[in-house]
Amino acid sequence: MFVVVGVTGGIAAYKTVHLVRLLVKEGHEVHVVPTDDAVRFVGLPTWEAISRHSVTTSVHDDVARVRHVSLGQSADLVIVAPATANTLAKMATGLADDLLGTTLLATTAPVVVAPAMHTEMWRHPATMANIATLRARGVITVGPADGELTGGDSGPGRMSEPEDIVAAALAAAGAPEADLAGLRAVVTAGGTREPIDPVRFIGNRSSGKQGVAVALAAADRGADVVLIAAYVDEGVLGEASAHPRVRVVRAGTAAELAAAVGHEAGEADAIVMAAAVADYRVADVSEAKLTKDAAAGPGVTLHLVENDDILAGLVGARREGQTVVGFAAETPGEGETLLDRGRRKAARKGADLLAVNQVGWAQGFEVDENEVMILDASGGVVATPRGSKREVADALWDAVRENRGKTK
């Protein structure tokens, strides 16, 4: 998210250094816009070092890029912390005599202010009227908190804690709640490729989109994620690779995927097997490219041997507190329903949850929408999300949370 943090001239500006750091650590692009008064408390080098972007107070710098409006236009969220009584008054009247003022007028993003001032200034009818005006315009206020102030007096006027301001601001901007914070997740995605010879393989139509969406949803909700990617298109993997809480591990074959899962699963709280793992591999992979000349007749026969069932291995080795989730892609035949098939597989696999979806020539693969039935270990239907793969992913994590709440 592109976040503009306005800083105005109050001693609480030192706390905003931590606020900026929290946002940067979360992976947001943060641009700090201090006022001239703010830099008397905390200087430009600090803001530049902590935000990793150049910082200026003036509308006359970087004019070629029309910075006085471009920051506001680009912003997904604007936070003003601390917001002094003077700044609140300027915001209420729409004054724009510095870069923060122009940015605030140019933005259509949610604006969150964290007032900080002495109690008398906060309670003054002028400030109260300004706050009422700003709230009526949709500005969100966080605090001020009640407590000790710099003059030794106490009362409402302290800037709220950076963690609280960040949480309120991200919620205002529609960012998901960090309800999976601290969860260690392993997610597999994509289809394995089982080599026949140096140029050929047996693969499947999995694009990896659903697995990547599962990984991203968890990371956006605060989990630390290891994404074990079999064959996944770079374009699909891109956003996940860039996420600060996703570590991508590559695997090609079912055996490589099994080894990677074995390596990562021990520490995990939740493991989601969204990868389409080949059930069989070629017994004797040819070192040289197979040629038609070498084939004895008009056809060739490949001898296939069974791969280990990774999910079954995970279920068998599951430790206390670990949640194991499988996926099942089914093509129900005549006279049987998707639910029948799903229930049989849920019973056979023994995973805590199984996400079952119907696939076909034109269904389930390489598309952005999905519909799944989430079953628990006894075959009960927990949820039937339908929508974007991200929506399905979020529903899956909701089910994981509920399942962990019940059983762990």
Q: Which residues are catalytic?
A: 204
Q: Residue 327 interacts with ligand CTP (CB under 6 A)?
A: yes
**Residue among 331 and 407 whose Cβ is closer to ligand CTP:** 331
Q: Of the listed pieces 93-101, 136-144, 233-241, 272-280, which binds ligand CTP according to CB under 6 A?
A: 272-280
Does residue 310 touch ligand CTP according to CB under 6 A?
yes
Output the six-digit token pair for 110.
Answer: 């949610």
Other beta carbons within 10 Å of 244: 12
Nearer to ligand CTP, 180 or 315 (CB): 315
Q: Which of 50, 117, 328, 346 binds ligand CTP (CB under 6 A)?
A: 328
**Nearest to residue 324, comparing CAs of 241, 244, 407?**
407
Q: How far is the CB of 179 from ligand CTP (least distance, A)?
A: 24
Q: Is 232 in the site for ligand CTP (CB under 6 A)?
A: no
Cβ neighbours of residue 378 closer than 8 Å, sequence gap 6 or more: 346
Distance CA(149)–CA(221), nearest Å, equals 35
Burial of residue 133, with CB atoms counted within 10 A of its CB: 0-12 exposed, 13-18 middle, 19 or more buried? middle
**Smallest distance from ligand CTP to CB 206, Å:** 10
Distance CA 105, CA 246 (A): 36
Distance from C-alpha of 214 to C-alpha of 390, rounded to nearest angstrom: 7
Minimal distance, residue 212 CB to ligand CTP, in Å: 14
Total residues in contact with ligand CTP, by rule CB under 6 A: 13
CB 346, min distance to ligand CTP, A:
10
Q: Per CB under 6 A, does 309 bind ligand CTP?
A: yes
Q: Decide: is 366 part of the binding site for ligand CTP (CB under 6 A).
A: no
Which of 5, 275, 324, 372 is in the footprint of ligand CTP by CB under 6 A? 275
User: Least distance (Å) from ligand CTP to the CB of residue 173?
Assistant: 34
Q: Does 264 bind ligand CTP (CB under 6 A)?
A: no
Mark the segment that binds ligand CTP (CB under 6 A) among 20-28, 171-179, 263-271, 325-333. Answer: 325-333
User: Which of 104, 329, 373, 396 lies at the binding interface for ligand CTP (CB under 6 A)?
Assistant: 329
The single-letter code of the amino acid at 398 is D
Tokens encoding 325: 């989730």
Return the residues of window 239-258 that contact ligand CTP according to CB under 6 A.
254
Which residues are near ligand CTP by CB under 6 A?
A: 254, 273, 275, 277, 279, 307, 309-311, 326-329
